[in-house]
Amino acid sequence: MPDASAVNGRALDIRQWMLYGPFLAQLVITRRCNLSCGYCSEFDKTSDPVPFDDLASRLRKLRELKTWAVCLTGGEPCLHPRLPDLIGEMRALGFRRRQMITNGYKLTKDLIEAFNENGLTDMQISVDGVVPNETTVKTLQPLRKKLSLLAEHARFKVVMSGVIGSAPPAEAIEVIDFARENGFIPRILLIHDENGQLKLNPEELAAYREAKRKIGSRFEDADGYREQLIQEGTAPFKCRAGSRYLYVDEFGQVHWCSQTRGVFTKNLQQYSFDDLKTQFYTPKDCHATCTVGCVRTASIYDQWRGQKNGAPTPGIPAA
């Protein structure tokens, strides 16, 4: 049985969900990672995988909140020994999209087939460049075999995403061509600092523009915020983190996003309709220069609705 309820013993009803409910939750299933990307502040080398029963309980709670999509993340999710079972649990609970993000290093044919059987719908595999460098080894050269396995066996959607700013800019362009040729969907992420703020030099900006041109019309998500960030330095939006988007860490704590873990914290099992509503209306002081694309996307439908003016958030530079 779930150990707490969403709204006084009842799941959210559809009206409540329409008003403030989560579109996407990212669930950390292990903080440990087999790699150490130079730009990343989201991993350690020591944590154990979160026990399956704890994760199943968190998934049930997310379902009570009527969360539409769940994305398993980390750390590196493939280090979790029961990853396929977790995906099966997500299907049994009725999540519409069952997603994961991986660096790809641990993929095998058997694991991909287990993902197929258990109902994975979307995988994001991170490929930053062509050859390993000091910052990232998530590159085509060591990952070619894994990517071939995916091209051959995956029955789920595969998005190949690279972080612009982590490898020589020309390599990002080569990754996009490779993704296209192999039936994957290319996507680029802009490198951010530990507060989720943009951090690119002029050469990287030029690579971003070229990548955008290559990816074409499918590229522009969340209302073209990247171009605005680059041209104007800011791209203000009403961030609905804590409501339309939930980041659930390895301890079962909800945060606005991976970059603001020290700012807002509440135990998922105690998360209520009132929390969703409060966080929906809470302005985030980091919004104007935010590069967290999935939160911008989850926030886009509610841009016409207001937010309350609040005091500056401790620990986050004001926009």
Ligand X SMILES: C[S@@+](CC[C@H](N)C(=O)[O-])C[C@H]1O[C@@H](n2cnc3c(N)ncnc32)[C@H](O)[C@@H]1O
**Binding interface with ligand SF4 (CB under 6 A):** 33, 35-37, 40, 42-43, 74-76, 103, 196, 239, 241, 256-257, 259-260, 284, 286-287, 290, 292, 295
Closest CB to ligand SF4 among 256 and 273?
A: 256
Q: How do the residues of the chain divide into helix, strand and coil, expressed in percent and rounded to 5?
A: 40, 20, 40
List Cβ neighbours of 142 (8 Å cut-off, separation of 6 or more): 105, 132
Question: Which of these, 110, 38, 97, 104, lies nearest to 69 by C-alpha position?
Answer: 97
**Which of 27, 33, 235, 268 touches ligand X (CB under 6 A)?**
33
Closest CB to ligand X among 176 and 189?
A: 189
Q: Which of ligand SF4, ligand X, none sits in contact with 287, Cβ below 5 to 8 A by type?
A: ligand SF4
Q: Which of ligand X, ligand SF4, none sits in contact with 229, Cβ below 5 to 8 A by type?
A: none
CB of 193: closest distance to ligand X in angstroms? 7
- Determine the Cα–Cα distance for residues 243 and 236; give it in Å rounded to an integer: 18
Say if residues 62 and 3 touch (Cβ distance below 8 Å): no
Closest CB to ligand X among 192 and 296?
A: 192
Closest-approach residue to ligand X (CB): 126
In the numeric block, which tokens belong to residue 40? 């990343």
Q: Are strands 245-248 and 253-255 parallel, antiparallel or unpaired?
A: antiparallel
Closest CB to ligand X among 61 and 192?
A: 192
Say if residues 101 and 156 touch (Cβ distance below 8 Å): no
Phi and psi at residue 133, in whole multiples of 5°? -135, -170
Contact residues toward ligand X (CB under 6 A) are 33, 39-40, 42, 73-74, 76, 101-103, 126, 161, 163, 189, 191-192
